[in-house]
């Protein structure tokens, strides 16, 4: 909007009255009263803070974004992707399947630095290179020039990448403007408690926009950008707005399909202090992440099709139970995870 919205009117009890979605008041200037309010404002792509970005430098978030990018994914077109996370890699896989030439530029030492073990990231890296994707890790961007016909990306190392389209996928930022206007606590998103209640007890938040404590990890505050988390939190917030008083207890879960490979992660893999590997055959494997006290805190798996799906689901249940399975049992191909769950 060209002008910021007016301050939110306050309730007698101190909470803010909200207007329509996005913070804009109804056309007649009145306020909408509420007993309970849910903020589900989501997130937006993190912008690349550089001059020179034009119409051929785009972000992927909405359906219309996808349609616009899809028009460039064809044989003969050159696609540069800034960022080696899930968005960038999944887009690279789709672009290669449609015949486009793809270069990924990642500033970090490897792809998938956030939340994916190096051993699994290497499998993904090799799969992309086998499909013809050029991956440049540890490369900063010195400048970008979009002249309307092509994009020229000058790398800090001295090389140039020329592309017909540059897609920027360097993360997402929670939408917290309305919460901040209302005086709510913001901490890497709208800060909520275990029941998804904000610093105003009548206002809740759910999904990409909120950070919340996870009891499974000692109350560590996290913000998750995944469809299942948004779905689960939306339902939990609705129940708690009706008085259920339920704490968030779901185990984080992520997945990604790239070429014929499926990556799945249950839990927070950066919590583990030791890793046990279980090989499933045909190149599929799972890494079990154990805390110092022996608790299973995460499981990361990769394989063709649904090769890891069943065991990741069982691992998710073990994590929820705060189980302490024997490392040798986790690594054994002959001991079924279901038997560990029963124990």
Domain boundary pick from 172, 203, 223: 172
Does one domain contain both 156 and 275? no
pLDDT at 28: 81
pLDDT at 17: 42
pLDDT at 342: 86
pLDDT at 25: 61
Taken in order 257, 261, 262, 264, the sign of the CA dihedral is: negative
To which residue do tokens 């206002």 refer? Answer: 203
CATH code for the domain of 327: 3.30.390.30
Bridge-partner residues for 58, per DSSP?
167
Number of structural domains, the chain? 2
Q: Which helix (H) or strand (E) holds 196?
A: none
**Order of strands, edge to edge, in the sheet holding 101-106?**
57-59, 165-168, 78-82, 101-106, 134-137
Residue 29, number of CB atoms within 10 A of its CB:
8
Q: Is residue 203 part of a domain?
A: no
Domain boundary pick from 156, 172, 188: 172
Kindly report the backbone phi and psi dihedral angles of residue 195, in degrees, each rounded to the nearest multiple of 5, phi listed first: -100, 10
Q: Is residue 116 part of a domain?
A: yes
Does one domain contain both 162 and 66? yes
The residues, ordered by sequence, that sit 6+ positions from 21 with a Cβ below 8 Å of its Cβ are none
Does one domain contain both 155 and 258? no
pLDDT at 27: 75
CATH code for the domain of 93: 3.50.50.60
| Local structure of residue 10 (DSSP, 8 states) | B
pLDDT at 16: 45
Q: Is residue 126 part of a domain?
A: yes
Domain boundary pick from 172, 189, 223: 172
Does one domain contain both 263 and 160? no
Instruction: Identify the segments of the chain with pLDDT beneath 50.
Output: 1-22
Q: Is residue 104 part of a domain?
A: yes
pLDDT at 273: 86
Contact 247, 215 (CB under 8 A): yes
Q: Is residue 190 part of a domain?
A: no
pLDDT digits over 284-300, tens only?
A: 999 999 999 999 999 99
Helices 118-130, 86-97: inter-axial angle, 10-degree rounding: 20
Q: Is residue 1 part of a domain?
A: no
| Local structure of residue 85 (DSSP, 8 states) | S
Contact 198, 37 (CB under 8 A): no
The residues, ordered by sequence, that sit 6+ positions from 201 with a Cβ below 8 Å of its Cβ are 15
Strands annotated E in 165-236? 165-168, 172-174, 190-191, 203-205, 210-214, 220-222
pLDDT at 30: 83
Does one domain contain both 158 and 261? no
pLDDT at 280: 96
Please give the residue range of the domain that contains residue 281.
Answer: 253-342
User: Helix H segments across the chain?
Assistant: 63-70, 86-97, 118-130, 177-181, 227-241, 309-320, 327-331, 337-342
Bridge-partner residues for 298, per DSSP?
267, 289
Does one domain contain both 166 and 267? no
pLDDT at 6: 42
Q: Is residue 278 part of a domain?
A: yes
Give pTM, 2 decimals. 0.87
Q: What Rg value do the Cα atoms of the chain yield, rounded?
A: 23
3-class DSSP state of 29: coil
Q: Is residue 281 part of a domain?
A: yes
């Amino acid at each position: 909007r060209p002008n910021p919205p007016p301050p939110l009117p306050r309730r007698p009890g101190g909470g803010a009255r909200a207007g329509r979605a996005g913070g804009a008041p109804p056309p007649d200037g009145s306020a909408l009263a509420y007993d309970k309010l849910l903020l589900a404002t989501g997130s937006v792509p993190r912008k690349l803070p550089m001059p020179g970005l034009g119409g051929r430098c785009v972000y992927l978030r909405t359906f219309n974004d996808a349609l616009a990018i899809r028009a460039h994914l064809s044989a003969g077109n050159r696609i540069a992707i800034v960022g080696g996370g899930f968005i960038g890699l999944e887009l690279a896989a789709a672009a290669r399947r449609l015949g486009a030439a793809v270069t990924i530029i990642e500033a970090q030492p490897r792809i998938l630095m956030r939340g994916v073990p190096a051993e699994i990231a290497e499998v993904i890296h090799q799969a992309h290179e086998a499909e013809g994707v050029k991956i440049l890790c540890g490369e900063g961007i010195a400048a970008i020039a979009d002249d309307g016909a092509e994009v020229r990306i000058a790398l800090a190392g001295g090389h140039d990448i020329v592309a017909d389209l540059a897609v920027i996928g360097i993360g997402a930022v929670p939408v917290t403007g309305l919460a901040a206007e209302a005086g709510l606590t913001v901490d890497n998103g709208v800060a909520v408690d275990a029941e998804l209640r904000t610093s105003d007890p009548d206002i809740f938040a759910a999904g990409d926009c909120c950070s919340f404590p996870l009891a499974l990890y000692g109350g560590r505050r996290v913000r998750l950008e995944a469809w299942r988390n948004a779905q689960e939190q939306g339902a939990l917030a609705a129940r708690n707005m009706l008085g259920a008083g339920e704490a968030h207890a779901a185990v984080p879960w992520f997945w990604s399909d790239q070429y014929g490979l499926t990556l799945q992660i249950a839990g927070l893999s950066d919590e583990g202090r030791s890793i046990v590997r279980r090989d499933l055959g045909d190149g599929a494997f799972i890494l079990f992440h154990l805390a110092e006290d022996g608790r299973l805190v995460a499981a990361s798996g990769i394989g063709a099709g649904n090769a890891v799906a069943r065991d990741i689901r069982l691992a998710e249940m073990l994590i929820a139970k705060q189980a302490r399975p024997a490392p040798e049992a986790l690594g054994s191909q002959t001991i079924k995870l279901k038997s560990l769950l029963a124990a």
